[in-house]
Protein backbone atom coordinates (compact mmCIF):
# COMPACT_ATOMS: atom_id res chain seq x y z
CA UNK A 1 0.00 0.00 0.00
CA UNK A 2 1.29 3.45 -0.92
CA UNK A 3 1.95 5.61 2.16
CA UNK A 4 1.80 9.37 2.44
CA UNK A 5 5.04 10.23 4.21
CA UNK A 6 4.50 14.00 4.46
CA UNK A 7 1.06 14.09 6.07
CA UNK A 8 1.06 16.19 9.25
CA UNK A 9 -2.69 16.59 9.84
CA UNK A 10 -6.01 15.20 8.64
CA UNK A 11 -9.32 16.96 7.96
CA UNK A 12 -12.68 15.24 7.67
CA UNK A 13 -16.10 15.92 6.29
CA UNK A 14 -18.95 15.06 8.68
CA UNK A 15 -22.22 13.91 7.05
CA UNK A 16 -21.73 10.73 5.05
CA UNK A 17 -18.10 10.45 6.19
CA UNK A 18 -18.07 10.25 9.97
CA UNK A 19 -21.80 10.03 10.62
CA UNK A 20 -25.00 8.76 9.08
CA UNK A 21 -27.08 11.89 9.50
CA UNK A 22 -29.86 11.06 7.03
CA UNK A 23 -32.39 9.75 9.60
CA UNK A 24 -32.25 12.96 11.62
CA UNK A 25 -32.24 15.28 8.62
CA UNK A 26 -35.15 13.40 7.06
CA UNK A 27 -37.21 13.40 10.25
CA UNK A 28 -36.68 17.12 10.76
CA UNK A 29 -37.61 17.83 7.14
CA UNK A 30 -40.68 15.60 7.33
CA UNK A 31 -41.84 17.33 10.52
CA UNK A 32 -41.24 20.71 8.91
CA UNK A 33 -43.34 19.76 5.88
CA UNK A 34 -46.10 18.48 8.15
CA UNK A 35 -46.12 21.81 9.98
CA UNK A 36 -46.52 23.54 6.63
CA UNK A 37 -49.26 21.11 5.47
CA UNK A 38 -47.16 20.06 2.50
CA UNK A 39 -46.41 16.68 0.93
CA UNK A 40 -43.65 14.69 2.58
CA UNK A 41 -40.39 13.22 1.29
CA UNK A 42 -38.51 9.98 1.91
CA UNK A 43 -35.24 9.30 3.68
CA UNK A 44 -33.76 8.19 0.37
CA UNK A 45 -34.57 11.54 -1.20
CA UNK A 46 -32.91 13.40 1.67
CA UNK A 47 -29.82 11.22 1.26
CA UNK A 48 -29.41 12.63 -2.25
CA UNK A 49 -29.98 16.22 -1.08
CA UNK A 50 -27.21 16.34 1.57
CA UNK A 51 -23.89 18.07 1.03
CA UNK A 52 -24.33 21.75 0.25
CA UNK A 53 -25.66 23.06 3.54
CA UNK A 54 -29.17 23.38 4.96
CA UNK A 55 -30.35 26.18 2.65
CA UNK A 56 -29.62 24.20 -0.51
CA UNK A 57 -31.05 21.03 1.01
CA UNK A 58 -34.34 22.80 1.75
CA UNK A 59 -34.46 24.20 -1.78
CA UNK A 60 -34.11 20.64 -3.07
CA UNK A 61 -36.85 19.47 -0.72
CA UNK A 62 -39.29 22.03 -2.10
CA UNK A 63 -38.34 21.20 -5.66
CA UNK A 64 -38.98 17.50 -4.97
CA UNK A 65 -42.55 18.23 -3.87
CA UNK A 66 -43.11 20.68 -6.76
CA UNK A 67 -43.42 23.78 -4.61
CA UNK A 68 -41.81 27.11 -5.49
CA UNK A 69 -41.51 28.87 -2.11
CA UNK A 70 -41.25 32.59 -1.57
CA UNK A 71 -38.33 34.00 0.38
CA UNK A 72 -40.64 34.33 3.38
CA UNK A 73 -41.73 30.70 3.11
CA UNK A 74 -38.12 29.55 2.85
CA UNK A 75 -37.23 31.51 5.97
CA UNK A 76 -40.19 29.99 7.82
CA UNK A 77 -39.25 26.52 6.62
CA UNK A 78 -35.65 26.93 7.76
CA UNK A 79 -36.73 28.08 11.22
CA UNK A 80 -39.06 25.09 11.53
CA UNK A 81 -36.41 22.70 10.25
CA UNK A 82 -33.82 24.00 12.71
CA UNK A 83 -36.29 23.66 15.58
CA UNK A 84 -37.06 20.04 14.73
CA UNK A 85 -33.48 19.11 13.89
CA UNK A 86 -32.24 20.43 17.20
CA UNK A 87 -34.63 18.00 18.94
CA UNK A 88 -33.85 14.85 16.94
CA UNK A 89 -30.25 15.36 15.83
CA UNK A 90 -28.52 13.56 18.71
CA UNK A 91 -30.74 10.50 18.77
CA UNK A 92 -30.96 10.15 15.00
CA UNK A 93 -27.27 10.62 14.09
CA UNK A 94 -24.90 7.64 14.34
CA UNK A 95 -21.20 7.13 13.73
CA UNK A 96 -20.27 4.89 10.83
CA UNK A 97 -18.29 1.71 11.69
CA UNK A 98 -14.71 2.12 12.91
CA UNK A 99 -14.90 5.94 13.01
CA UNK A 100 -14.44 6.48 16.74
CA UNK A 101 -11.58 4.03 17.21
CA UNK A 102 -9.78 5.36 14.13
CA UNK A 103 -10.08 8.98 15.28
CA UNK A 104 -8.84 7.88 18.71
CA UNK A 105 -5.80 6.19 17.16
CA UNK A 106 -4.96 9.26 15.07
CA UNK A 107 -5.41 11.55 18.06
CA UNK A 108 -3.23 9.38 20.29
CA UNK A 109 -0.56 9.40 17.60
CA UNK A 110 -0.57 13.20 17.69
CA UNK A 111 -2.10 13.99 14.32
CA UNK A 112 -4.00 17.29 14.55
CA UNK A 113 -7.53 16.61 13.32
CA UNK A 114 -9.97 19.09 11.79
CA UNK A 115 -13.65 18.84 10.95
CA UNK A 116 -14.73 20.69 7.79
CA UNK A 117 -18.46 20.53 7.13
CA UNK A 118 -21.14 22.56 5.39
CA UNK A 119 -23.52 21.75 8.26
CA UNK A 120 -24.39 24.92 10.22
CA UNK A 121 -21.84 25.52 12.97
CA UNK A 122 -24.58 25.97 15.59
CA UNK A 123 -25.30 22.23 15.60
CA UNK A 124 -21.73 20.98 15.88
CA UNK A 125 -20.61 21.30 19.53
CA UNK A 126 -23.57 19.42 20.99
CA UNK A 127 -23.55 16.81 18.21
CA UNK A 128 -19.85 16.05 18.50
CA UNK A 129 -20.18 15.78 22.29
CA UNK A 130 -23.14 13.41 22.05
CA UNK A 131 -21.20 11.21 19.61
CA UNK A 132 -18.19 11.13 21.93
CA UNK A 133 -15.69 12.49 19.38
CA UNK A 134 -15.44 16.21 20.22
CA UNK A 135 -12.15 15.79 22.09
CA UNK A 136 -10.38 14.46 19.02
CA UNK A 137 -10.68 17.65 16.97
CA UNK A 138 -8.32 20.59 17.28
CA UNK A 139 -10.36 22.63 14.81
CA UNK A 140 -14.04 22.52 13.86
CA UNK A 141 -15.33 24.54 10.90
CA UNK A 142 -19.01 24.58 9.95
CA UNK A 143 -21.30 26.73 7.88
CA UNK A 144 -20.89 30.31 9.09
CA UNK A 145 -17.27 29.78 10.17
CA UNK A 146 -15.81 30.19 6.68
CA UNK A 147 -16.27 32.68 3.87
CA UNK A 148 -17.17 29.97 1.35
CA UNK A 149 -18.53 26.45 1.72
CA UNK A 150 -17.15 23.35 0.00
CA UNK A 151 -16.57 22.78 -2.90
CA UNK A 152 -14.69 26.08 -2.55
CA UNK A 153 -11.22 25.41 -1.13
CA UNK A 154 -11.47 28.24 1.43
CA UNK A 155 -12.22 25.94 4.40
CA UNK A 156 -9.12 23.86 3.67
CA UNK A 157 -6.99 26.98 3.29
CA UNK A 158 -8.23 27.95 6.75
CA UNK A 159 -7.22 24.56 8.15
CA UNK A 160 -3.76 24.84 6.59
CA UNK A 161 -3.31 28.36 7.95
CA UNK A 162 -4.40 27.31 11.44
CA UNK A 163 -2.11 24.28 11.55
CA UNK A 164 0.75 25.93 9.66
CA UNK A 165 0.83 23.41 6.81
CA UNK A 166 1.58 23.18 3.13
CA UNK A 167 -1.11 21.60 0.97
CA UNK A 168 0.70 18.27 0.60
CA UNK A 169 0.82 17.96 4.41
CA UNK A 170 -2.97 17.93 4.87
CA UNK A 171 -5.02 14.85 4.00
CA UNK A 172 -8.73 15.45 3.41
CA UNK A 173 -11.27 12.66 3.86
CA UNK A 174 -14.81 12.90 2.51
CA UNK A 175 -17.65 11.13 0.75
CA UNK A 176 -18.91 13.59 -1.86
CA UNK A 177 -17.77 15.43 -4.96
CA UNK A 178 -17.88 18.66 -2.92
CA UNK A 179 -15.24 17.24 -0.59
CA UNK A 180 -12.98 15.92 -3.31
CA UNK A 181 -13.29 19.05 -5.44
CA UNK A 182 -12.51 21.31 -2.47
CA UNK A 183 -9.40 19.30 -1.65
CA UNK A 184 -8.28 19.09 -5.26
CA UNK A 185 -8.66 22.86 -5.63
CA UNK A 186 -6.59 23.30 -2.47
CA UNK A 187 -3.97 20.84 -3.83
CA UNK A 188 -4.44 18.46 -0.88
CA UNK A 189 -4.34 14.65 -1.19
CA UNK A 190 -7.78 13.08 -0.97
CA UNK A 191 -9.48 10.01 0.43
CA UNK A 192 -13.03 9.21 -0.65
CA UNK A 193 -15.31 6.78 1.19
CA UNK A 194 -17.71 4.71 -0.86
CA UNK A 195 -20.44 4.33 1.78
CA UNK A 196 -21.41 8.01 1.83
CA UNK A 197 -24.10 10.01 0.05
CA UNK A 198 -22.75 11.94 -2.99
CA UNK A 199 -26.17 12.50 -4.56
CA UNK A 200 -26.52 8.84 -5.51
CA UNK A 201 -23.46 8.94 -7.79
CA UNK A 202 -20.32 6.82 -7.36
CA UNK A 203 -17.64 8.90 -5.66
CA UNK A 204 -15.08 7.20 -7.88
CA UNK A 205 -16.16 9.56 -10.67
CA UNK A 206 -14.56 12.45 -8.72
CA UNK A 207 -11.12 10.83 -9.10
CA UNK A 208 -9.93 10.88 -5.48
CA UNK A 209 -6.34 9.86 -4.78
CA UNK A 210 -7.55 6.96 -2.62
CA UNK A 211 -10.90 5.16 -2.46
CA UNK A 212 -11.87 3.10 0.60
CA UNK A 213 -14.90 1.10 1.69
CA UNK A 214 -13.92 1.16 5.37
CA UNK A 215 -13.02 4.22 7.43
CA UNK A 216 -10.18 2.49 9.28
CA UNK A 217 -8.30 1.97 6.01
CA UNK A 218 -7.14 5.58 6.32
CA UNK A 219 -4.54 4.25 8.76
CA UNK A 220 -2.89 2.24 5.98
CA UNK A 221 -1.84 5.46 4.24
CA UNK A 222 0.12 6.91 7.13
CA UNK A 223 3.70 6.19 8.18
CA UNK A 224 4.28 3.31 10.57
CA UNK A 225 4.44 2.93 13.47
CA UNK A 226 2.76 6.30 14.02
CA UNK A 227 -0.58 5.17 12.59
CA UNK A 228 -0.61 1.67 14.01
CA UNK A 229 -3.88 0.98 15.77
CA UNK A 230 -3.68 0.30 19.49
CA UNK A 231 -4.39 -3.32 20.24
Determine if residue 175 is labeled as part of a ligand binding site: yes
Does the annotation list 13 as a binding residue? yes
Give yes or no: 39 in active site.
Answer: no
What is the distance between the alpha carbons of residues 124 and 122, in angstroms, rounded to a whole number?
A: 6
The kind and range of the H/E element at 47 are helix 43-47
Q: Residue 127: exposed, middle, or buried by beta-carbon count in 10 A (0-12, 13-18, 19+)?
A: buried
At residue 83, φ and ψ (nearest 5 deg) are: -60, -45
How far are the Cα atoms of 65, 88, 89, 135, 201 from residue 92, in angstroms, in the given order? 24, 6, 5, 21, 24
**Residue 95 in contact with residue 19, Cβ under 8 Å?**
yes
Sequence ranges of the binding site for Mg(2+): 13, 15, 175
Residues tagged active-site? 13
Binding residues: 13, 15, 175
Amino acid sequence: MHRLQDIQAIAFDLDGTLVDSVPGLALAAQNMLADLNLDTITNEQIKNFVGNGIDVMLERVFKAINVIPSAEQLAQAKALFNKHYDKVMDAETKLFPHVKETLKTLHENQYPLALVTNKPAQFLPALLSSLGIKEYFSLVLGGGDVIKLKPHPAPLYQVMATFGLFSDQLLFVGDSKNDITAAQNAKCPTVALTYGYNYGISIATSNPDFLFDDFKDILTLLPQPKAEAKK
